[in-house]
Structure 1
Amino acid sequence: MNEIPPQADQKAELAARISRLKPRRDFLDHTYISLRHKYVFHTVGKAANSTVKQYFYALELKGSHFAMPSVHDRGSSPLLSPFQLDRQTLEKALTGKEFLRFTFVRDPYARLLSCFLDRIKDHKSRPYRELMRWMKKDVGYKPEFGEFIKAICEQTPFQQNNHWRLQYADAMMPEVGYDFIGKQESFSADMSTLMSRITGAPVDLQTDRVNASPSVTAAHDKLPKYWTAELVQMVQTAFAKDFETFGYEPEREWMGGFKSAVQAAGTPPAKKTEQAQPVRRHIRLKEFSPLVQRSMSPTEDYLSQTNGTLPPGNYKLTANADGFLIDPKHAKRPGPKLFVLGDSFVECSFIHEGSRFCDVLNQKLGPAPGVCFNAGYSGATSLNLYNVLINKIVDKDPHSVLFVLPSNDPLSLLNGNGYWNLNDRRYAPVLPVRRGPPAVGEFEQNAGQLAPLLEAMCGLSDAFGFNLHLATTPFVSTQYEELAWFRRRHKTRETYEGLMERRRVLNQVVRNTAQKCRKDLIDLESILTDTEMFYDDVHVNEQGSLHLADILMQRLGWPSTAGA
């Protein structure tokens, strides 16, 4: 995330901005600072924060004669609160490069259910009493889970208790540039990585042996029992930022087993019309949340489906205020703007920041004016990218836009209604996704949707006066039996050969449209043919990213043609 610019009284101004997100008391109580190990940790309620504190209290006290205090007693914590630091030190802690900033988050569905089971069913807890005041009920009232969800979805983040507050607001995402965001669902791996970064030594934690939470609710195993379609819809709307920012899918497999209270009792439910159950829908914008910073690591299963040129480890992604990926060193470059549209091929999440081809283009410019923005997003289709182009790019006065055909298109066009299938959780252009599995469609018929969509992009470029370059999607074609990792990635020869053919068909549509609309064509399928440039069949490795940057620098005519 972008660092907060120096100002006359930054501490007071930062505190004022944070106070618009949540009460100042929560900021002071749940922000932990170590001057010894140079880190800042913010605890999100019901997201493993007690267990995390257990580890870092122990680390802070290591080598001292002090006994380990309770992690629930803030006054005895060996870690400092913001109010204990002078302005200059607090500024360094929250914005400086010498401090590591991190937090942990949790699946919104499991977190809210855990809060209900732990804090609301306990009538002696402070969160319960706060909720009763909000609901205007007497202490002793026993709210149902649905009442709890409805009540908290009516609240603003500032009004919410920290145990159920929108995590995006509670973690102060608009104001704090995190270097690491862990998840409760991958706690062991994330905590091991985090401790290794802080201590500088390899760490493999047995976190299943340490759980400092005062109450273990096992909420994840109880989700289908408590959640209903109506409650899910409320949370998808009120907590949308949490799903988007932290990469949690709003739709889940367990949602297929919803039962109403009437059905559970064995009585057939009355049929409801769509008017009786109104659904608030919205166009899906596939983007990174503004100013978000993520650290991503390829899983062992993912690595097993690569050729060995993708190193394991953490890969940092930083988005600017408009949700475009860019190395912070280049975020404020002036001059003509280039936006590169695509899916995971363009996103390059598993290439280190600074080595992604969009970052390398910025480096190659040196002091010359010009800036390249990475508008790639994993799972995007051409329809999703058209939406990004018209809603996020045309008003930014682009000099040039490079559209790279997504490798997702051959998959999404297998659905009924092609790009516009509203049941596919990964590709649907409208949210919330409709219930039920996606209908099966005919690729040959749906492939006809691509040409008019590309022609619409060409029309936009003419109307708004920017250069549009169309690129085919590159991919590795090899003998299916030769490579074990390739067979793991493509389960059968039939699926592999069918996918290769669909990629070729759509790439030809790109070539034909570029010729018809007189747009520059960059035929990456023909240019990127060296298998050593890829770590699987569609994603370039670091060597490929650097090579691609060289190609684009020569082909795009940017920024030298600015003003021509």
Structure 2
Amino acid sequence: MGKSRFFRNGLILGSVFMILLIIIYWDAVGAAHFYLHTTISRSQASRPPPISRSMPKHEAVDNKDNSIPSGSDAFLKFLEGTSEPRQKTRDDNTPAAFGNASTAAGKPEDKDTSEDKKKRQDDRKQLMHDLCSINSTLDFPGKSRTFNDIPSRELDHLIVDDRHGIIYCYVPKVACSHWKRVMIVLSETLLDNGVPYRDPMDVPLEQVHEIKVHLTLNKFSRRLRKVKLKNYTKFLFVRDPFVRLISAYRDKLATANEDFYRRFSTVMLKRYGNYSNPPASVVDAFRSGIQPSFSHFIQYLLDPKTEKQRPFNEHWKQVYRLCHPCQIKYDFIGKLETVDEDAEHLLRILQVDNIIHFPPSYNNRTTSSWQQYWFSSIPYESTRKLYKLYEPDYKFFGYPKPEKLLQDL
């Protein structure tokens, strides 16, 4: 009887110990093993072989079997670089590939062009670094907080590709649909009849913005977030802040978008359009010629009541609030105004230009030349207040202050 009770107690203690080990392991590794090489598919077909491509040098040397260590400590050491590093880095923790873009993918590139592109990136990153320093006169909410101070929900715009070691902070109205398509193809997180998409433009639009399709940084443990940010290549694309606002208005409020009409347009119409009871649906509203004007939209952005009720929508939220440039050291900063050239340069640096190309840019994008027209109905004082609201984005990314819009001539 005594031996039986001793055996039973030992079995219980052993089971409890194993459960604790599993909990500790899962907390350390986060969702990495679940998401790594995991795909979302409408088919249960077996996974096909990977897309044929030349393996980057750091994968061929440092991870010969293309596998991830099974233990949590080994996995973290693998990423942290305490065992075999993912890729060699320079002293400033910037991936070595950034030091020589012309040879990153093993393809020749004009020397002067390569040096010009590298200098452009160096200047953009240095500007952001200078403005984030404590000596900078630029002040804005959240400037002095640390990465640990950022709530997990605010890291949902950082898309992670574990297959290639890439983190992309997407900014709506800055070609983010195209870049999300690229990330889906690279990470193989979406299948069509068991086969990963190879052409970004083949990915269905309704799937591109599905939250479950993308692996975002907030889905990992705090420790893994820091490990990935240290070792992965991080990039974002930006555009002129006022032009981005015009694009957001045209796309979400000036077109028949039911969701945005119910959530935002009705609020604007009630507050600033003298419609105490606007039509219930966007179809009825547009049929009656009722929709918020661009002036109503600007009033909404400047109204203190707006963010007291809910944070800005991602389509007009400031980039510094979406991507946290003072807490995350980005390796590449692209601009929509030079998206084709910047995209080509980035894909070469990432060593994936031999397997994927950035989709052609839009031919009818909202342009800077339209600003004078759209802001002609906005009072100068409101335009000045709006500039102050988006001033960090102007300065962070080197966009000139829109002097003509701010001066009452």
Structure 2 length-normalised TM: 0.50
Q: Taking CA–CA contacts closer than 8 Å with sequence separation of 6 or more, which of the two structures ends up with the larger relative contact order?
A: 2
Higher helix fraction: Structure 1 or Structure 2?
2
Structure 1 length-normalised TM: 0.37
